Structure formats: C-alpha cells, structure tokens
Structure 1
Amino acid sequence: MTVGIDLGTTNSLIGIVDDGRVLLVPNRRGHVLTPSVIGIDMNGEVIVGEAARNQAVSAPGRTLHHIKRHMGERLTLPLGDEMISPEEGSAAILRVLRQDVARYTGGAAPESAVITVPAHFDDRQRNATVEAGLLAGFRHVRLLNEPTAAALPYAARDVQRERILVFDFGGGTLDVTCLEREGDEFHVAATVGDGNLGGVDIDGIVLDRLAREVEAQTGLDVTKDPTMEQMLRNMAETAKTELSDLEETTIAIPFVAGSGGMVHISVVLTRAELEDAIAPVVNRAMGITDEALRDAGLKQDGFDTLVLAGGSSRLPVMRRALAERFPVAIASMINPEEIVAVGATQLADSRRNGRFSLHDVVSGTLALELADGTCIPIVHRNQTIPARRTRVFTTVADDQVEAEIHLLQGDRPRAAENRSLGKFLLSGLEEAERGSPRIAVTVEVNADGVVTVHAGDEKTGSSREMVARARPRELKQPIRGDFQDWLRSLARRGKILLDHAPAGLAAEVSELVALAESSTGSAEQEYAITVLETLLLEITARAMIRGDTGGARAER
C-alpha cells in the first residue's frame, strides 16, 4: 500500500484509497487533521498531534511547532532535555501518521508514501523531507509539489482541457502555480512561492496586538514569558479563524498579574481591523500571484479554474483579492485543508494504474560559474522538465589542462550570491592557446527533478559527470546552535539510515557514527560532521535517483 501525506506546517494528513475512493485516515482522536506539533510529556515520552498541542501552554519548553519551516537547515531544536534536528521532528510526525494507518486498517504499517512539499522547496529541503520519510520507517518515498497535488482531484471532471491557477496558502508557506490540464495530463507552466508567508504570520500580527494590550494594562513583556506568549498565540489563531465567519470577536485574557493585582483583559477585534493589519500580507501574496502569471506568460482572464488550498485561503480578504483579479468561480468541491492530501493519495494510487501524467518546471535557475566570479544561466527557472541544455566553454590561460565546473542555483549575477549545488575538476584538457579548447557542459534535469552535469573536452575526450545536490561544505551555512547537539543528531540519524544504504556506504556510516560517539577533539568532531552530512545526503540522493525501483523520487 502506498499512502498520500500532506506534511504541513500546522497540520498533517494521511490518506489511503479504499474501494476506489480516497479516504483520509482519522487519528486516535477521530480527526483527519493531526497538528504538526511534537512534545515530551511528563513521563518523558514523545507525543505528537493534539496531545502535544494541548500541553504547549503549560510546557512550552517541551513542545515544538512549525518544524517544516526549518527543514534542510543545519540546526537543532529544543525538545525537553534533548536537541533534535528538523528531520527528526518531521519524522516523529510521519511515524505517527504511519501508525494511524496500521491501526485503522488492522494491517502492517505502510512502507511507501507520496509526501507533498511546497513547490518552491529547494534540493536541500527536499532531501531533508526524504530523509524524514526514511527515518519514519518508509522504504519508498515520492515527493509531490503541493499545488500540483491540489489540482489532481479536479481531473475527475468532464472538462477535458482547462487552465488552472492554484493558490496554496497554508500555515507556513505560499505557493502559486499555473497549470494546464488535458484529461489526466498536467503541465505546470510556472510556480512561485514564499517559504515565510503563511497563516502563522497572520497569527503573529494578532499576537502582537494582544501583547501590546497586555503590556499597556499590566506592564508585562509577553516575549519574556513563554507560557503567556503561547497562550496568546493560541488565542490569536482562534480569533483569526472566527473572523472568517464573524464580523467581530472578543478575546478574553483572564488572570494576568499586574502591578495592582490580577487583571482580566478583554480585547474586541473586528474583521475590518484584522484586514487592515494584515494588508501587507495580502499585498505580498497578490504580488507573488502576479509574478506567477508573468512567468507563465498568461493574463488574469486566462484561467478556467481557481483552486484554493490551505486553511489560510479561507480568509475573506484573501478571497476578495483573488476574485478582483480573476473572473472565474472558485472550485470548492473539496475542503482547502484536505485537498493536498487527497491529491497526494490519488497520485499514490495512480502508481498502480498510471492514471496521471505530470510535467512540472524547474523551480530555480541553474547556472555555471565563470572565471571572473560571475555566472551564466544554463537552465532557466520555470523551464519545463525534463530539460537538457549544452553550452560550450573554453580556457582562460595558455596550456590550461584542467577546469573547475561549478553548478549553482539562483538568479543573482554573482556566483557567491547563489547556492552551490556542487563542483568538480575536469582534467585532461587539450594543451593549447587560451580560447582554443572546446569544453561542452550539459546540464540535465530529469522528470523527477534530479540534476546531472556532464562536462567533456571535445578533442581529448576527457569527461566527468556529477549528480548535483546541495552539499554541506558548500552551503556556507553555519551550524546554528550547539556543535555537539548537531553531531549527536547526525549520529542518531546515521544509525537509522544504515538500513537504507548499500553495504559499502553502510560500513562508512557505521565508522563515522562510532567516531562521532567516541571523539572528544574538535578536529575529529568537525571531520565526523562533514563526512556524516555528506554520507547521509548520499543515502537520500541515491534514494531519489532510484525512483520507482525502490526508494524516493521527486515529482514536481
């Protein structure tokens, strides 16, 4: 059985196909939405979902929210007395979802999953999501872009050809994607996103309003009281939700200690006040929508269907802004909070019947660094994949016998301002005057989003090839938090991922894990971190390349 999973910033869902129909599996409390929250209870046990969310006010130091926003970052997050990586945190959520399916069906836990990710996620974030799936116990993982997942359920309609705009505004991210559908075949024309724009940012705006009111009446700085801050954050989220249906709501904050004793604070917030406060968020979202249209080469009246996904898309002000831009009805067959999981589950089932054909685009420009530190684009952002392009370069010095091939992702003119996806040295070049040798470099992106670079001297035949991926030593991203905590996290993850590595690679990982657990010198530890990070990336990258033959693949 292959399941479909929406691994969200605020909530996660898992689905199966039962008798030809998508069924979203309820958790132990009977709800299909599982809060993406993990915690440590009073007995030291890991808890996930509603139980973890419910203890957030009383035990903020033992509770973690919004882990998805940190995926792919070199940091550890505090969870009680332990520090864990974002991959481990997401794995805890995925593990519980997997167990929910086993409990619901009465069978074994599923080993294959289609997990959705924001369309704008880069290779580093996608690798981290694959790793989380492997850590959770899945043997086979396929990635699917969230906006594409949201469009899939509408393939069942009688309309054979249509243009679809997906506005996916979730708890932590925004993606806007333009697609064309012909029957069960989907072509992505363009996608633009922001990983730091979502419902939690609106919650933060309301939280600021409540915090100012508390400080004005009591003198209390909420930011220095984690328990009070979490309580107000919960109230802010509830108020935001209520104002999608009501014109005003009253937020009661009881028993706040002030200089004159206990104070009961009551704040009335109207929908108009909320909409005025979040106008910058709405404007930013509409700006991203306009950018997606420009990239797709389409006009505002060039769509047949507008699909909304994500709970934050329910906001009336967001719907009005979209209605003003697009003269089409909003497709509302499926709950926006559930539609991504439904699409992921449909794709999971289509692995048996081959129902859907997906054609996506490159999420970021792929470029090569030149000798002067600038870079030249090879495959452009929003180019349809699979894509392949070759450019011919030459030498910059007489009798030059080797050249560095450095692949980057980004649109900035300077190489240092973009993200490195890897580099290698091509030797064996023709010894000749500068400008004479011809070095053909081909950048290829396959249908699964895996990038390969091939370079060769046309005269000598010398060549090299590299599968591109973000490498730890080239990210220039320092470890955030304690060095030792990150090393311990790598060791824990390495032990679990041993089962997914071929024999030779598994032996290397075992040696590095042992070194990480026994080393005391900083030089040894730095070496262990660098090599372990590279090996874990190698395991997930191999899984990405294996695709349907057993492993993970990325369906953009």
Structure 2
Amino acid sequence: MTQLPALGFDFGTTNSVAALAVDGRSELVQLAGPERADPVFRSALCFWQDEDVRGGLAVAAGPWAIAEYLEFPEGSRFLQSFKSVAASASFEHAIVFEKRLRFEELGRTFLGLMAARAGGALDGGARRVVVGRPVEYAGSRPDDALARQRYDMMFAGFGAEIHYVYEPLGAAFSYASRIEEPATVLVADFGGGTSDFSVVRIEAPGAARRCVPLAHAGVGIAGDRFDQRIVEHLVLPLLGKGGSYRSFDKILDIPGGWFTDFSDWSRLALMRNRKTLAELEKLKRAALDPEAIGRMIAVIEGELGYQLYHAIGALKRALSSDDAAHFHFEGGELAIEADVTRAEFEDWIAPDIARIEAAVDRALTMAGTEPQAIDRVFLTGGTSLTPRVRRLFAERFGTEKLATGGELTSIAHGLALIGQEPDIGAWTA
C-alpha cells in the first residue's frame, strides 16, 4: 500500500518543531534563524508598531521575534508560552498596542511566519498533517472542546486533512524507530506547559501494528510551573506579594491575582495594557509598600518579561549540573542577587513532582500494568532534563530502564511517521 506523505507538527509551549515523512522516513524541517538554521523554532511572537506595514503592526516569530525584541524591548510586545491559554475559556484575546487578537489569530500568525522560514517545506505537498496535542491541557479548568476549536481555526490553512494525536504517542513512534526488540514502554513527555504519559506496547519490526497504545494520562504542569516556583520565591516578595493596602479605614491583603499573572509567561506581557497599568497605579497609591508595586509596574512597562525568563532559565540549567547556582536579575528598578541550592529548588517544586507522579500512576493503572512490567521509560521534552524529574523515574523503574534522545524533536519526528500509517484513525485523539 502506498504511503501518503505526511507532515508532523509539534506546536509546543516553549518550542515548535515540524517533520516531513515520505516512504517511511521522517526528516526534521530546518528553519532559518538569524544566525543559523535549526529545526527547533521558539514558540514566541514579537509585535511592534510600523506605519509602513499594513494595519500598522509588524510581527516576527521564533528566534526572529527574540532578535527584534532585544533590539528595541520597550517598543515591543513579546508574547511567549501562548499555547498555555489554548484551553482557557477566560482567555478571550490579547491586547497588543490596543489591537485585540484571539488565540487562533496569534496561532495563525505564528504558523505563517514559521512556514516562511522553512524554505517552502511547509507550503504544501503533505497530504496529511498530524498535529500533536497534550493529553491534558494547561490551566485550572481546561476546556478540551474549546482548545480543539481553536486548533482547528489555527491549522485550517495548513492542509485539508488535519489529524490530532497525543504528543507522547508521537514520541513513542519515534522511539520505536530506534529499537528492534518488542517492549512495553512508558513514554514521559515533559514540555513547558504540560507533562504527558503514554503506556505503549512496541512490537518487533514488521508487525501489522508496531505501536499499540494501552493508556494515556497527563497533568497541566511542567517547566513553566517550575519557573513560577522560582518567581514566587525570589521575585514576587520584592513586588508586594504578601503585602497589604489601605481601603478607607481597613487594611487588606493585596489580591493574589496580580502575582499569579505576573509569574505566568503567557500572561505577563499581556499585563502591559492601559486598564491593568491604571489599576496597578491605583493599588500603588493605596499600598503600605508602594515602592514594591512600583517595581512591578516598572518591569511590566519596561517589557522585561523575556529578560526575567532568561535569568530563570539560566538558573534552572545551572542547577541541572551543579548543586548550587547564583541567580541574577536587574531591570525596571528591580535588582535581585540570590544563591540557590538544588535542594531548595527541589523543595519548591515538590508539590508539582507529586502531581506528576500521580499522573504516572494513573497511566499505569489505566493500562493495567505494574511498574516492573515496564521494559523501557522514554523521557522526552526539555523539562525531562531536570535532575529531580529524572530521579523520579530512576527510583520508580530503575536507572537502567531510562532512555533519552531527541528531547526537543522526537514528537514531531514520530507524528510524521504516524501520518504515514494507513489506519490513521487508530491514533487520533
């Protein structure tokens, strides 16, 4: 039977990757960058005002968005991690220079700019498009139907035949292409916004169905949540968290919503709008520590979210290899210097690790599989490199069973392979 050419698309919270499969071989799509081509494309947008552009609003995506932002941060709006709001009914639109943009508009813009950097590789020719989706979307009350509706509108121009597949199942197909022996595999996919798990039976090459999914589970927390924990402990206390304000003759706690939004990369940049800044100025006048609220306003007005994200990412990377690291951030009237041990960081993320472990347990229970029956644990996604995450699986299944590789690319690689399966409906979610 002739295999249809297929495009696998991993639209990630932090990075996005595409792969093309033809005749059973999947190749990553190389995307142009300011310095070099790379298959990994940052899931970010940067907007700025330009009278010479139709509509007066220019935009760049991926590493080009970062380059534009770094050149003129105060005149930009840098949006990242916007996938995190895909399933959020409370997110209606982003206000960018007074223009309201819905999720699907942000998504279509991002995809169009990503395709423009692919040298024509994403401009057609793929008969099938297989898009990865998390088992459970990020957010407190994720709405799967809403996310599907938004994804449909976002990918509508990418091809006539769109299919959605759980992201860890894509990673399972990628891993299956690397092994020859049958195995029962737990795939653990850790991204920026979600942690997803699939128990998959991989048969020997030549089997009618090489991969047989047994169960899936997920939780809407991952790398971005770990970032939030760092912000909560090192940054927010200097911005008024835990403080009070005066309302007539009463002293009240400052509402936590300001700090929740500030520590969420998908929402921080959106706080730079007229209404929010006016409310923060009002809060500053009433706060018992007005300078703290002033520092928050300065960070928002200075469009310093990317610099803060970069500093926190540097700390996490350092703690992945060292027992202690130094955190440094300076900008917007805010200066922070702090020494952080890996033990402290792991204590901060302990509640999140517990929820991740509970999701692993759900996947095993739903599959009717005991931990000792798992032959391999395939760890993928950038957050899988976090030592505490790896230790969770080493303790549960044994270090000798852990397998890694292609942490940022395995999902797209496998999704493209799934797109060449004749019974595509058996894999769709």
Structure 2 residue aligned with 1:126: 148
Distance 2:236 2:210 in 1: 51
Conserved 8 A contact 1:60-1:230? no
Distance 1:329 1:127 in 2: 42
Distance 1:110 1:187 in 2: 25
Distance 1:60 1:119 in 2: 37
Q: Aligned runs of 1:90-101 on 2, under 5 Å? A: 90-101=107-118
Distance 1:323 1:331 in 2: 7
Structure 2, unaligned stretches of length 5 or more? Answer: 51-56, 138-143, 241-288
- CA shift for structure 1 position 79: 2.7
1:232 aligns with one of 304, 308, 323 = 308
Conserved 8 A contact 1:120-1:191? no
Stretch of structure 1 that moved more, 326-335 or 112-121: 326-335
3-state SS, counterpart of residue 208 of structure 1:
helix
Distance 1:155 1:100 in 2: 30
Conserved 8 A contact 2:190-2:381? yes
1:257 aligns with one of 322, 330, 333 = 333
Conserved 8 A contact 2:13-2:83? yes
The CA deviation string for residues 509-541 of structure 1, in whole angstroms up to 9 with x for no partner, is xxxxxxxxxxxxxxxxxxxxxxxxxxxxxxxxx
Distance 2:363 2:97 in 1: 42
Distance 1:250 1:60 in 2: 30
Task: Report the residue type matching 2:319 in the other structure.
Answer: L
- CA shift for structure 1 position 235: 1.2
Change (3 A) 1:100 1:257: closer
3-state SS, counterpart of residue 236 of structure 1:
helix
Structure 1 residue aligned with 2:61: 48
Change (3 A) 1:245 1:26: farther
Q: Aligned runs of 1:494-533 on 2, under 5 Å? A: none
Distance 2:402 2:105 in 1: 36
Change (3 A) 1:208 1:294: same
- CA shift for structure 1 position 338: 1.3
Structure 2 residue aligned with 1:166: 187
Distance 1:41 1:109 in 2: 33
Which structure is larger by alpha-carbon Rg, 1 or 2? 1
Instruction: Please state which structure has a larger fraction of its residues in helix.
Output: 2
Change (3 A) 1:17 1:69: same
Structure 1 residue aligned with 2:415: 344
Distance 1:60 1:36 in 2: 20
Distance 1:45 1:128 in 2: 23
The CA deviation string for residues 168-196 of structure 1, in whole angstroms up to 9 with x for no partner, is 1110011122122223432222211123x
Conserved 8 A contact 2:61-2:114? no
Task: Report the residue type matching 1:344 in the other structure.
Answer: L
Structure 2 residue aligned with 1:63: 78
Distance 2:100 2:94 in 1: 5
Structure 1 residue aligned with 2:223: 199
- CA shift for structure 1 position 51: 2.7
Task: Report the residue type matching 1:133 in the other structure.
Answer: F
3-state SS, counterpart of residue 373 of structure 2:
coil
Conserved 8 A contact 2:377-2:403? no
Distance 2:177 2:109 in 1: 34
Stretch of structure 1 that moved more, 237-246 or 119-128: 119-128
Conserved 8 A contact 2:60-2:113? no
- Across the aligned residues of Structure 1 and Structure 2, the Cα RMSD in angstroms comes to 3.0
Alignment: residue pair count: 350
Matched, 1:114 2:136: no
Structure 1 residue aligned with 2:374: 303
Conserved 8 A contact 2:8-2:131? yes
Structure 1 residue aligned with 2:20: 16
Conserved 8 A contact 1:178-1:191? yes
The CA deviation string for residues 441-475 of structure 1, in whole angstroms up to 9 with x for no partner, is xxxxxx46xxxxxxxxxxxxxxxxxxxxxxxxxxx
Matched, 1:151 2:222: no
- CA shift for structure 1 position 90: 1.8
Matched, 1:186 2:211: yes
Structure 2 residue aligned with 1:465: none
Distance 1:181 1:293 in 2: 16
Structure 2 residue aligned with 1:36: 43
Change (3 A) 1:149 1:124: same
For normalisation by structure 1, the TM-score amounts to 0.57
Distance 1:158 1:265 in 2: 47
